[in-house]
Amino acid sequence: MTALAEQQDERTEIELIESLTQLIETEAQEKITSLLSAMPEADARHLLFRLEQDQLRQVIALAAPETISDIIEPLPDVEIAMLLEDIEPTRAAEILAGFTAADQAHILDELGSEDAAAVTAAIDIEVAEDISRLQAYPENSAGWLMNPSPLVFSASETIGDVLKRIVEDENALDHAEGQHPYVIDAEGRLIGFVSLQTLLTAKRSTTLDEASKIAVSVSDNASLDDLRDFFDEHDFLGAAITNENGILVGAISKDTAMEAVRDRLQSNAQKARGVVEDELRTMPLLFRSRRRLSWLSANIFLNVIAASVISAFEPTLAAVIALAVFLPMVSDMSGCSGNQAVAVSMREISLGLARPNDIFRVWRKEVMVGLINGVILGAIIGLVVFIWKGNVVLGGVIGTALAINTVIAVSIGGCVPLLLKRFNVDPAVASGPLLTTITDMAGFFLVLGLATLTLPWLI
């Protein structure tokens, strides 16, 4: 996009904000809805979040609920909850009606207990019951992610009954999420499913008990890893979810499960880098500050430990000032190598390819990579230091320190996530700070220690 086009877009959005502000002041509900509905959802979302907080709340309270639902649907659950907690519970329930029961349950989980209870009381009774069932499951389990209202028929019903409901209920296929109708017995136990081919070719008088095929189900307590493995093994678009008694309690699509897997990988990667999960700049200032400080404050103490190593070698540092230039380079390059190892370990943990008892296998593999990369990187930086400062011993000190510290960094990066996992500590959160502190300490110690040993040739 050219600079001129960007300026035109900016002017257009400013005009839209002015128009929307005027409509808010006059509480022109229909016109606000028309203005937002006429825009692409991404543009409408960007427009809304350029408003002041009070204006944004007014728009949410005035525009058609389904329009607001479509606009805010991609936002993190915590952000949606913050938007809904400031409006009337009845209005919040109307907006939530545009989400699936599972999404409603996840958003309500982010609300305070009083707000959640008030909104739930305004939701349709059947939907509220589905939400309550979903909230009882652990996060990211099959039950937590499932659609609690799939397309279900009893074994005594016929093909004609299935076709009739699909024709009469325009929302039936939406609830099915692209999956086949499931068949249950009188007690609610899963019998099987009816394929599209059967629906189109079988006689309408055929009972579903006769027409159904055996369905492979997933336990409602299955973990995200179990779901990933299931869909890797079976080329299905979805699966039935059953409880320990074989009762059909819901269904889950492959897309839903894989999206949850991707979200977890992304979340782990963000936390490993100290990025605050799901933060948006439209969130309250103190809320954002508190979430960031919880990670940053711990780093103060870890960095004090690393700085203490430098303090112990002050005479050497004072004698060879050039070392101060290269200390950050050694720690930073080693840290990059370690972060690569952390990322691989986090990915293998998420995919079920590595477990805590694999720590020695992981360490051996990382050491081999660290040795190769350490020698190459050490040789490169050693040559750079020699050309720059004209001192071959200084080049050797920096190169050797980087080579050794790279091996240390990849060892820590590969193994620490597995150790933390064994002790039920979130490896995504803790691995980064530990890696940074240890590689800094080791890097500073190696550079300054080697420099102390070779000090006569450096001065």
Pick one of 3.50.30.30, 1.20.1440.230, 1.25.60.10, 3.40.30.10 as the CATH number of 7-141: 1.25.60.10
Q: DSSP readout, 294-344? A: HHHHHHHHHHHHHHHHHHHTHHHHHH-TTHHHHHHHHHHHHHHHHHHHHHH
Is the CB of residue 355 less than 8 Å from the CB of residue 436? no
Q: Cα(136)–Cα(126) distance, rounded to whole angstroms? A: 16
> Sheet containing 190-193: which strands, arranged edge to edge?
152-154, 182-184, 190-193
Pairing relationship of beta strands 182-184 and 152-154 according to DSSP bridges:
parallel
- Return the CATH number of the domain spanning residue range 152-253: 3.10.580.10
Output the pTM of the full model: 0.65
Query: What pLDDT score was predicted for residue 123?
Result: 92
Q: What is the pLDDT of residue 1?
A: 46
Phi, psi of 241 (to 5 degrees): -115, 125
Fold equal for 152-253 and 285-458: no
pLDDT in tens, the chain (459 residues): 444 344 445 557 788 888 888 998 888 889 999 999 988 888 888 888 888 888 888 999 999 999 999 999 888 888 899 889 888 999 999 999 989 888 999 999 988 888 899 999 999 898 899 999 999 999 889 999 999 988 889 999 999 988 888 777 766 666 666 578 899 998 999 999 888 888 888 899 999 988 888 888 999 999 998 999 999 898 888 899 999 999 999 999 898 999 888 888 776 666 555 555 555 556 666 766 776 666 566 667 767 777 788 888 888 887 788 888 889 889 889 988 998 898 888 878 876 678 888 899 999 999 999 999 999 999 999 999 999 989 999 999 999 999 999 999 999 999 998 988 888 776 766 677 778 888 989 999 999 999 999 988 887
- Residue that is written with structure tokens 């040739």 in the block: 457
Structure tokens at 50: 């350029």
Residue with tokens 């299905």: 236
The number of beta carbons lying within 10 Å of the beta carbon of residue 381 is: 20
**Helix 53-62 × helix 3-25 angle, to 10°:** 70
SS3 content of the chain, % helix, strand, coil (to 5): 70, 5, 25
Q: Map residue 217 onto helix, strand or coil.
A: strand
285-458: CATH topology = Tetracycline Repressor; domain 2 (1.10.357)
Q: What is the pLDDT of residue 426?
A: 67
Give the per-residue pLDDT at 11. Answer: 58
- Domains of the chain, residue spans: 7-141, 152-253, 285-458
Q: Give the number of other Cβ atoms within 10 Å of residue 370's Cβ.
A: 27
Amino acid at 271: K
Two structure tokens written together for 304: 């004090």
Task: Report the 10 Å Cβ neighbour count for 28.
Answer: 15
pLDDT at res. 175: 61
pLDDT at 360: 92
pLDDT of residue 4: 38
For the residues of 357-403, what is the DSSP string, one character each?
Answer: GGHHHHHHHHHHHHHHHHHHHHHHHHHHHHHHH--HHHHHHHHHHHH
HEC string of 147-204 equals ECCCCEEECCCEHHHHHHHHHHCCCHHHHHCCCCCEEECCCCEEEEECCHHHHHHCCC
pLDDT at 3: 44
Res 313: pLDDT = 87
**pLDDT of 263:** 80
